[in-house]
Amino acid sequence: MNGGLVEHESWAPPEVDVERANVARVYDALLGGSHNFAADRDVASALTAIEPGARDAARANRAFLGRAVRFLADAGIRQFLDIGSGVPTSGNVHEIAGAVAPDSHVVYVDTDPVAIAHSRSILAGDDRATIVHADLREPEVILSHPDVTRLIDFDRPVGLLLVAVLHFITDEERPGDLVKRLAEALAPGSFVTISHGTLDGRPNKVVEAVEKLYSRASAPGRPRDHASVETFFDGLELLEPGLVHLPLWRPAENDVPFEHPEQSWGYGGVGRKA
């Protein structure tokens, strides 16, 4: 702080509102990243005070993303569309996919200026990966964006990633229709990977406190129950083990064990388009 003003870090683009918590940067703070401000860290700390496992939950989500991308790459997927990609941190999609197949193409999509600026800087000079500033609520804009069509051939299978982003879409914004529209554009053999925040089984006071906290942030959080998240896979073949608590989705041998998977705050699953 400086005379009541929050310092505007040199890495942050000028349009960033540093006074207001932003969901991308709260998640970065929970993961222990360095691209966040006091307002974001305040929400992260308040979340941790309500639910001491909040940081582990963020890590469980990031680990799910990594396992899902490796699974898709092993299944032969060479192009990824990652919507709500976030502030780059360890285990980015182009790194994981690139380790399996260096010719993989990755398009990241996000609305947060910090996520965009930092992604641009780490992807400079990479002609197989890019970041597009666009909104999940406008699937047509994403699907026709020149950087998307340059790197993604929609006649071939795609790995669509909607990881920890659909819970920022309200019911009125019809998240199911958005997933359907995006899935429609994909070739047979494509995969849709979804993780989604839930407060299933959490006490009411926790549910209320989390919703109140996120109402202060750039996008309201909309945790959903298992049945609601499962509907996002309608029309797709939901692969084994189905939609499960994040640590339970195809755990890797070297994963740090998650003592209470049901407290991971999220469900994850992968669907295949026939």
Ligand X SMILES: C[S@@+](CC[C@H](N)C(=O)[O-])C[C@H]1O[C@@H](n2cnc3c(N)ncnc32)[C@H](O)[C@@H]1O
What residues make contact with ligand X under the rule CB under 6 A?
23-24, 27, 61-62, 65, 83-86, 109-112, 115, 135-137, 163-165, 168, 219
The nearest distance, CB 84 to ligand X, in angstroms, is 3
Determine if residue 145 is left, alpha or beta; phi over 0 gives left, psi from -120 to 50 gives alpha, anything else beta: beta
CA distance 73 to 161: 13
Q: What is the three-class DSSP state of 41?
A: helix
Shortest Å distance, C-beta 4 to ligand X:
27
Nearer Cβ to ligand X, position 128 or 137? 137
- Picking from 249, 240, 250, the residue whose alpha carbon sits closest to that of residue 268 is 249
Write down the least CB distance from residue 212 to ligand X, Å. Answer: 18
Minimum CB distance to ligand X smaller for 60 or for 239: 60
Of 169 and 239, CB closest to ligand X? 169
**Least distance to ligand X, CB of residue 131, Å:** 11
Nearer residue to ligand X within complex by CB, 79 or 111 = 111
Locate tokens 């947060």: which residue? 112
Q: Which residues contact 109 (CB under 8 A, 6 or more apart)?
A: 81, 82, 83, 84, 85, 131, 132, 133, 134, 136, 142, 148
- Please report how close the Cβ of residue 143 comes to ligand X at its closest, in angstroms: 14
Phi, psi dihedrals of residue 134, rounded to the nearest 5°: -155, 170
Looking at the Cβ atoms of 87 and 236, the one nearer to ligand X is 87
Query: Within the chain, what is the greatest distance between any pair of CA atoms?
Result: 59
Of 39 and 136, which CB lies nearer to ligand X in the complex structure? 136
DSSP, res 79: E
**DSSP one-letter code for 2:** B
- Shortest distance, position 106 Cβ to ligand X, whole Å: 12
| Phi, psi for 258 (deg, rounded to 5) | -105, 115
User: Cβ closer to ligand X: 61 or 130?
Assistant: 61
Residue 81 CB contacts under 8 Å (≥ 6 apart), including other chains: 107, 109, 142, 148, 152, 158, 159, 160, 161, 182
Residues 85, 94: Cα–Cα separation, whole Å:
11
Residue nearest to ligand X (CB): 86
Smallest gap, in angstroms, from Cβ of residue 183 to ligand X? Answer: 16
